[in-house]
Amino acid sequence: MLEIKNVSKTYGNGSSSVGALRNISLQIDDGDFVAITGPSGSGKSTLLSVIGGLEKVSAGEVILDGRRIDNMSEKELVEIRRKKVAYVFQQYHLIPSLTALENVLLPLTFGGLDVGGKKRAATMLQEVGLEKRAKHKPGQLSGGEQQRVAIARALVNGCSLILADEPTGNVDQKTGVDILRLFRKANEDGHTIIMVTHSPEIARRGKRIVTLRDGEIVDQLDQDGCERPSGKEGFIP
Amino acid sequence: MFTALGVAIGVAAVVAVLTVANAGEKRIYSEIDKYGPNMMITPAINDLDLKLGDLRLGSLAVGNNYIAQEKVSEVRQITDGAIREALGIQDQEDIATIAPKLYVDATVNGTSVMVVGFDPQQERAIKSWWDISRGRYPEQQDEALLGDRASSALSVGAGDRIGINGEGLTVVGVLQETGSQDDYQVFAPLGTVQKAFEKEGLISSIDIRALCSACPVESIADSINKSIPGVRAVAVQQIAESEMNLVMKVNRFMLVLAAITLVVGAFAVVSTMMSSVHERTKDIGIMKAVGASRGQIVRMFVYEAVAVGFLGGILGYVSGTLLSYSLGPLIFDGLAMSYAPQYLLPALGLAIAVAIVASVYPAFRASQVRVAESLRAL
C-alpha cells in the first residue's frame, strides 16, 4: 500500500519559488490501477517522481508498505528500485547500445542475475509480443515496440508498483491501446499501476482517476470496472 | 569504439614524437662525432729542472718519446668500459674510435717530410672531413696517402712509387687540402712505417674520439692517467666542452618535448573519455532507475576505461610507430627510424590510467545526480 501524506514540493527558493505540489494526500491500495491526469503544469509528473523516490519532497511523507521512502538514503532507494518500484517513461529510456533482450535483462544484471533470469527476460519479451525482435537495438524498433520493451523491463523484476509517465504520449492511438492492454494485463497479474496521462481517453482505462490542477487534487473518481462505456465525460475536465 | 580512437590518437602523438626524437637524438650524436678527436694521448715526459745551488743547468727530459703499441688495447678497454658502464651497454663491440700514430721525419725524393704511420680505418673514422681529391684511400700495407702540399712538394701523384727509408710504397691517393698539418704529411700504414724506421711496437700518440652524454671525456682521461703508466691523456678542451654543452642541451630539449607531448596526449585522452561519459549521462540515469547502485555504475566505467585504454593504447602505439617511420625521414633527412619497444608498456599504462581517471570522475559525478535530473537532461 502506498500512502501520500500532505506532500508539498516547491522548486527554487525565496520569492522565485514555484509550488509544483501543494499539500497532497492520497492512498493507493495494492492491485489498484490509478490514472493521474490534469493539464500540463498541474504537477502530475512531479507527483509520480515523488512517489518513486526520484525526487525529494519539500514537506510531507511518502510511505510504501509501511516504510517512509521520502527520506531514504540513496542506498535504500537502490533496494526499493530493485524490488518494489519500476518505471515506464514517455521517452521509453532504453539504452541505445543494448539489444531489446539486454535492455529487459538490465534490472536483473544490477540486482544479481540468477539462473532463471535470462529465461524470464525472454518470456517477458514474448508476453509483450516482441520475441522476434529480441536481438534488435532500440534504434531499429518503432516507438510502440520500444515502449513494449520498456514495459517488459519494468515487469521482469516482479516489482509490485509500476509507475508510468505518459506511456502512450509518443505513440499513435492504435499502439496506445495495445500498450494500455499490457498495463491492464499486468494489473490483472497483481501489479499496482500508477499512470500519468493528460488524455481523458486514456485515463478512463484506469480503475481510479485522480485529477490535478495547479498542484492540488481537484477530483477523485472511482470506476467500478476497468473499461466504461462512454457518456461519463462530464466527470473529466 | 570511437572513444578508443580518440585515446589512440593521443597515444599515437606521444609515441610518434618520442620515437622520432629518440632517433633524432642518435643522429645528433653522430653529427657531433664529426668534430674530430676529443682526447689525445702522448708519452708522459717530465722535465726536471737541474739546479746547483742558484745555478740553473737547464732541464732534462725524463721518460720515453714513444708509447708501447700494446697500450692501445688497454686504452680501448678503459674507454669502452667507461662508456659501457655509463650507458648500460652489454655488447662487446668497439665503441670509441682510437687512432694510434707514429710520426717520423724522413727524406723522400730528396725532400724532408713528416711520415705518419697510421691505422687507415680508425683514422678515417676520426677525420670525417677527409676527402680524397685524386686516387683512392689506401687499403694495402704498401700503399700510401699524401697530403695536398706534400704531393706538390715531392712532385708525386696517385699511381707513383716512393721510397721511405728504403721501403717501397705506392701512392694510391692524395687528400684534398684540409688547412691543417695533414696537408704536409705522408701517410702510410703503421706497421710499414714501424718496420721501415725500425720502431716496431712503438707509436708517438693516440687520437681518441669517445662520446657519451653521461661520462665526460675528462673522467675517462683521468682513469687512463691513473691506470696506465708512461702515458698522458688529455681532453681536447675546446671540443670536449662544446660537445658536452650540446649533449646537455639535446637532453634537456628531449625532456621538455616528452613532457609537452605527454600533457597534450593525456589531454586528448581525458577529453574523449569525458565527453563519452557525458554523452551517457542519460544512460546512467536509466541504469539508476532500474536499480543500479553508484558503485556498480562507477565499476562499469572503470572496466570500460581499461578496455578502451588497452585497445586505444595498442592502436595508438602501432599507428604512432608507423607515423614516426614516415615522418622521421622527412625531419632528419633520410634518417632510419628504429622501432622503440620501450615505449609500448608506458604507452599502454598511460592510456589506461588516464582513461580511468578521465572516465570514472565524470561517471561518479553523473551517478550522484538524481535520476529525475539525468533523465530530463535529454
Please say whether the beta carbons of B317 and A131 come within 8 A: no
pLDDT score, position A229: 42
Confidence of residue A236 (pLDDT cuts 50, 70, 90): very low
- Taking CB atoms and an 8 Å cut-off, how many pairs form between chains A and B? 50
- pLDDT for B200-211, tens place per residue? 888 988 988 876
pLDDT score, position B60: 58
A52: nearest CA partner in chain B: B289
CA distance A71 to B304: 33
- pLDDT for A194-217, tens place per residue? 999 988 888 888 899 999 998 888
Tell me, rounded to whole angstroms, the distance of Cα B72 from its chain centroid. 23
Q: Say if A197 falls within a structural domain.
A: yes
Please say whether the beta carbons of B230 and B64 come within 8 A: yes
Q: Say if A127 falls within a structural domain.
A: yes
Q: Which residues of A touch B298 (CB under 8 A)?
A: none
A162: nearest CA partner in chain B: B290
Confidence of residue B285 (pLDDT cuts 50, 70, 90): confident
Residue B325 has pLDDT above 70, yes or no: yes
Q: Say if A150 falls within a structural domain.
A: yes
Q: Which amino acid type is present at position A66?
A: G
Which among B296, B372, B375 has CB closest to A110?
B296
CA of B348, closest CA in chain A: separation in Å?
26
pLDDT score, position B118: 92
Determine which of B284, B286, B375 to mutate to test the interface with A (most A C-beta atoms within 10 Å). Answer: B286
- Mean pLDDT of chain B, nearest integer: 81
Confidence of residue A227 (pLDDT cuts 50, 70, 90): very low
pLDDT score, position B355: 84
Between chains, do B296 and A87 touch, taking CB under 8 Å as contact? Answer: no
Q: Say if A4 falls within a structural domain.
A: no
CA of B301, closest CA in chain A: separation in Å?
14
Which domain does A85 fall in, by range? 31-57+74-232
Q: Say if A176 falls within a structural domain.
A: yes
Query: Helix, strand or coil for residue B1?
Result: coil
Which among B290, B296, B370 has CB closest to A54?
B370
- pLDDT for A130-161, tens place per residue? 989 999 999 999 999 999 999 999 999 888 99
Determine which of B279, B290, B304 to mutate to test the interface with A (most A C-beta atoms within 10 Å). Answer: B290
Mean pLDDT of B365-372: 72
* Residue A1, C-alpha cell as written in the block: 500500500
Which among B282, B294, B372 has CB closest to A54?
B372
Q: Which residues of A touch B289 (CB under 8 A)?
A: 54, 81, 87, 93
- pLDDT for B14-63, tens place per residue? 888 888 777 777 777 777 767 777 888 888 876 666 666 666 666 655 55
Q: Does B1 touch chain A (CB under 8 A)?
A: no
Domain total for chain A?
1
Confidence of residue B265 (pLDDT cuts 50, 70, 90): confident
Mean pLDDT of B165-185: 88
- Is the model more confident about A16 or about A183? A183
Between chains, do B287 and A106 touch, taking CB under 8 Å as contact? Answer: yes
Mean pLDDT of A47-65: 87
Helix pair A143-156, A117-127: axis angle to 10 deg: 140
- pLDDT for B129-170, tens place per residue? 888 888 899 888 889 999 999 888 888 888 888 888 888 889
Q: Which residues of A touch B308 (CB under 8 A)?
A: none
Please say whether the beta carbons of B339 and B321 come within 8 A: yes
Q: Say if A64 falls within a structural domain.
A: no
pLDDT score, position B59: 60
- Mean pLDDT of chain A, nearest integer: 86
Q: Say if A156 falls within a structural domain.
A: yes
Which among B294, B296, B375 has CB closest to A74?
B294
pLDDT score, position B48: 60
- Is the model more confident about A139 or about B249? A139
> What CATH number did the domain enclosing A208 receive?
3.40.50.300
Between chains, do A95 and B372 touch, taking CB under 8 Å as contact? Answer: no
Which among A55, A97, A106 has CB closest to B372?
A55
Confidence of residue B327 (pLDDT cuts 50, 70, 90): confident
Mean pLDDT of B268-276: 80
Question: If contacts are CB pairs under 8 Å, which of residues 280-309 in chain B contact chain A?
Answer: 282-283, 285-294, 296
Mean pLDDT of A75-86: 89
Kindly write down the DSSP assignment for every residue of B219-267, as one continuous string: HHHHHHHHHSTTEEEEE-HHHHHHHHHHHHHHHHHHHHHHHHHHHHHHH
Which among A55, A81, A97 has CB closest to B289?
A81
Mean pLDDT of A15-43: 87
pLDDT score, position B53: 66
* Residue B223, C-alpha cell as written in the block: 682513469
User: Hey, where are the domains in chain B?
Assistant: 2-29+246-376, 36-236
Confidence of residue B1 (pLDDT cuts 50, 70, 90): low
Which of the residue ranges A18-32, A67-81, B260-274 would you say has the lowest mean pLDDT?
B260-274
Residue A234 has pLDDT above 50, yes or no: no
Q: Which residues of B touch A149 (CB under 8 A)?
A: none
Q: Which residues of A touch B291 (CB under 8 A)?
A: 78, 81-82, 107, 110-111, 157
Locate the DSSP E strands across chain B.
39-43, 46-52, 55-62, 67-68, 97-108, 111-118, 132-135, 143-146, 161-164, 167-175, 185-189, 202-203, 205-209, 231-235
Q: Please give the C-alpha separations between residue B302 and each of A90, B129, B309, B346, B357, in angstroms, as whole numbers.
A: 31, 59, 10, 19, 9
Q: Say if A161 falls within a structural domain.
A: yes
Q: Does B372 touch chain A (CB under 8 A)?
A: yes
Mean pLDDT of B319-334: 78
Confidence of residue B305 (pLDDT cuts 50, 70, 90): confident
